[in-house]
Amino acid sequence: MSFTEHRALGRTLWETTQVVNRAFERTLAEVGGSRAVWFIFLALAAQEHATQRDLAATVGITEATLTHHLNALELRALVTRTRDERDRRIQRIEFTEEGRAAFERILAAATAFNRRLVTAVGGDLDTLYAALDRLAAAADADHEAVPSPLAETHHDIGL
């Protein structure tokens, strides 16, 4: 029974992502991570952010949400926050030794997971990326005002 003349592309995309994401979250949970933490860690390791605002934008969340996550990470002693000497408004966020180790574990798990996905897709990878980019562009078409997270590093950072 179908309610539309087209197949359910948005829904298929949603469900595929749900399945993939749940598997990914399970994988990360096994090494003490989560998707949100993984994205934040990657952005931290890349060291391409000047402020928490930048970092939040890179991760694709608000500043308040980032603070929320950083609080948890600091509580777990995985990162430290120290005020910048020259501009005390700015927090400098750094991995602790333990945090760096956690990052390495999560990186290994995420890399292995990604490799599995890439292998599954086979040779059509560029075609898939092109299709996904067209989907995102089409969805955003009505709403240029809303910035798409990580647009500039799209595809360039580990999973």
Q: Which residues 29-58 are close enough to bind a copy of itself by CB under 8 A?
A: 35, 39, 42, 45-46, 48
CB of residue 99 to DNA, shortest distance in Å: 16
Q: Cβ closer to a copy of itself: 75 or 120?
A: 120
Q: For 83, list phi and psi in degrees, rounded to 5.
A: -70, 140
d(CA 74, CA 58): 20
Cβ atoms of 48 and 58 within 8 Å: the answer is yes
Phi-psi region of 155 (alpha: psi -120 to 50; beta: other; left: phi over 0): left
Q: How crowded is residue 73: how many other Cβ atoms within 10 Å of its Cβ?
A: 22
Sign of CA dihedral 46, 52, 54, 58: positive
Among 27, 52, 96, 148, binds DNA (CB under 7 A): 52
Work out how close the CB of 88 gets to DNA at its nearest, in angstroms, rounded to a whole number: 3
Of residues 70-129, those binding a copy of itself (CB under 8 A): 107, 110-111, 113-122, 124-125, 127-129
Query: Of DNA, a copy of itself, none, which one does residue 110 interact with (CB within 5 to 8 Å by kind)?
Result: a copy of itself
CB 103 within 8 A of CB 93: no
- Footprint (CB under 7 A) of DNA, residues 66-95: 66-71, 81, 86-91
Residues that bind DNA (CB under 7 A): 34-36, 51-54, 61-71, 81, 86-91
